[in-house]
Structure formats: C-alpha cells, structure tokens
Structure 1
C-alpha cells in the first residue's frame, strides 16, 4: 500500500545519507562494511519493510546481527529512519531501491536470512512478474543469500501464498516450515514471531496468517 507523501520524511532521508542509500547505482559496488559499526556481524535483509515495525524490532532484539530494510517508498524509509535515529540502532541500514536489483546492491552470498513480509499480492495474471516470489526474484535472492541461508515469508493473502508455494517448489527450493494458520498451529514459531503492522491488523480480525521458511 502506497503511503501518503510526507515532506518531513523526504527531508529527513535526504539529510541522512549515512543511514539511507537512495537509488544506488547498480553498476557500482556498495561498501557495506563502512556503513555498519560492526561490519563482520551476520546480515539479514527485509524486502518491502513498510513502516518498519518488523525490522526495527529485529534490530533492537539482536544487536549482534546487521539488518538492511529495503523499501521503495521514500515516506516509508523516512518513518523507519526516524525510529532508527531515535533508538540509536547502528546495526540497521535502509536501502531505498528496487528489489529486482537486489543482487546488484549486495555481494554474492552475503546474507543469512531474507524476509518477505506481507508483500503486494499483485493478483492479476498480467502482473505475475511483479510478485516478490516470481522466479526472477528467486534467482536474485539465491545470488544474495549464503548457501546456508533461507527465506522467511508471511502473508494474509491465500492466493499469493498458494502461488508462492508453487513458485518456490518449481524453482527447486526446499521447505523447512509451512503453515496456513501461523498464530494458531505453530506455537514454536509464534513464540519468537515479530508481527508487522499488517499482520497485527489482520490477525486481530481473526484472519489466518500464512507462512513458510525455505532454502535453496
């Protein structure tokens, strides 16, 4: 969902290039080591972070891990940045850019985990290639993830979940965990689950949350 443009967010993002990379050149390597206080820590990436509740909570709970929030909207990036600065989260960076270019922004096999939380379902068939679990995106994620890395995916959209199961399976991925009602049938996962803004909203209405973990 597109957020209403907030001038303060644009100004904040523009004033903090040390925390937000905006539309980086895909042909130029990014020096991630210089952007983190502890560059040798494991790296985890969330694609489509929205207002950032998930990735911010992760960064607060796990200072021993570095995180990158990938978000296309400047307003969303600004909302994440505001909290990052207030909380002093030096293990969180924000990349404002296109997820289709993800493997141009990171070294090969750099990340341990990649999170896809409540992505746009793009329900029309003609928009299939825009879905973040389409095969071209999976190829990009495979390039970015370590050989021991994995994807964690959550959605409230049954159609997108069914499509994603098929897409990942056809790509040859291996499923470590699958749930069609995360909050009620997977207590061992829910115990450590961090809700996104959308997840909290949909779960409060009694809607099932679909989830999977998979590796290449």
Structure 2
C-alpha cells in the first residue's frame, strides 16, 4: 500500500545516513562491518518492512542478532528510522532500496533469516515477476542466505500463499513449517510470533494468516 508522502520523513532520512542507507548504489560495496558494532552476530533481513512494527520489535527482543529492514518507500523507511532513533536500537540498520538488488547489497552467505511479511500479492499474471517469491527473487535470497539459513513468509492472501508454496517447491526448497491458519496454531512458532501492522489488522477481521518456513 502506498503511503501518503510525509515531508518530515524525507528530511529525517537525509539527516541520518549512519542509520539508514538511502537508495545505495548497487555497484558500491556497503561496509556493513562499520554500520554494526559486531557484524559477526546472526543477521536477519526483512524485505518490505512497512512502518516497521515487526522489525523494530524483533530487534528489541533479540539484541544477540543484527537486523536490516529493506523498504522501498521513503515515508515508510522514515517511520522505521524515527522509531529506531527514539528507542536507540543499535542492532538495526535500514535500507530504502529495491529488494531486487538485495544480492548486490549484502555479502554472499551472510544472512541467517529472510523475513517476507505481507508482501504485495501482484495478483495479475503479467506482474508475476514482481512477486517476492518469484524464482528470480529466490535466486537472490539463495545467494544472500547462509547454507543453514531460511525464509519465513507470512501473508493473509491465499492466492499468493499457494503461488509461493508452488514457486518454492519448484525451486527445490524444503519446507520446515507450513500453517494455513497461524493464529489458530498451538506450535512454538506461533507462541514466538511477532505481528506486523497488517497482520494485526487482518487477524482482528478474522482473516486467516498463512505461514511457511523454508530453506534451500
């Protein structure tokens, strides 16, 4: 969903290059070792972080890890940045960037988890290549993830969920966890679940939340 432009967000983004990479050049290597106090910690990446509720709470609850939130919209990235600065979250970096370049922004085999939360379903067939679980994106995730790394995907969109299962399966991925109704599941995964803004809204309406964890 496109957010209304907020001039303060653009200003904040430009004022804090130490915390947020704004449209980085994919041809220039990013010095992640300088952007985190300890880049050897396990790394989690959320692609499409929205307003940041999920990635902010994950980073707060897991100081033993590093986090990168990737968000295309400047306004949304500014909202995440404002929360990060207010709460002084040192283990979170933000990128206002296109996820299609993710394998150029990060070192190979550097990430432990990639989160895909309530991604745009792009329901029209002609837009299939834009879906974040399309095979070309899976190629990029495989480059970035460690050999024991995995993807965690959540959506309320049944069509996108079914497509994603098929896409991952066709790619040769293996499924560690699949739920057709995460919020009615008694598994440890649900007990540890952190909701996104969309997830909270959709669950309150009674929508099912679909979830899959998978690895290459």
Please classify the TM superposition score into its range, dividing by the shorter chain length.
over 0.9
TM-score by length of 2: 0.99
Structure 2: distance between partners of 1:62 and 1:38: 14
**Secondary structure of the corresponding residue to residue 201 of structure 2:** helix
Structure 1: distance between partners of 2:9 and 2:57: 20
**Secondary structure of the corresponding residue to residue 68 of structure 1:** strand
Report deviation, 1:187: 3.3
The C-alpha deviation readout for 1:97-150, integer Å capped at 9, x for no partner, is 110100000000000000000000000000000000000000000000000000
Q: Is 2:167 the counterpart of 1:176?
A: no
Report deviation, 1:41: 1.1
2:9 match: 9
Structure 1: distance between partners of 2:44 and 2:102: 13
2:65 match: 65
Structure 2: distance between partners of 1:166 and 1:186: 25
Structure 2 residue ranges without an equivalent (≥5): none
Structure 1: distance between partners of 2:65 and 2:18: 18
What's the C-alpha RMSD, in Å, of the aligned pairs?
0.6
How do 1:1-216 and structure 2 match up within 5 A? 1-216=1-216
TM-score by length of 1: 0.99
Report deviation, 1:39: 2.1
Structure 2: distance between partners of 1:116 and 1:131: 11
Structure 1: distance between partners of 2:5 and 2:121: 22
Structure 1: distance between partners of 2:40 and 2:109: 14
Report deviation, 1:186: 3.8
Structure 2: distance between partners of 1:204 and 1:96: 30
The C-alpha deviation readout for 1:14-67, integer Å capped at 9, x for no partner, is 000000101111111110010012222111000000000000000000111000
Aligned length: 216
Judge conservation of contact 1:109–1:143 (CA < 8 Å) in 2: yes
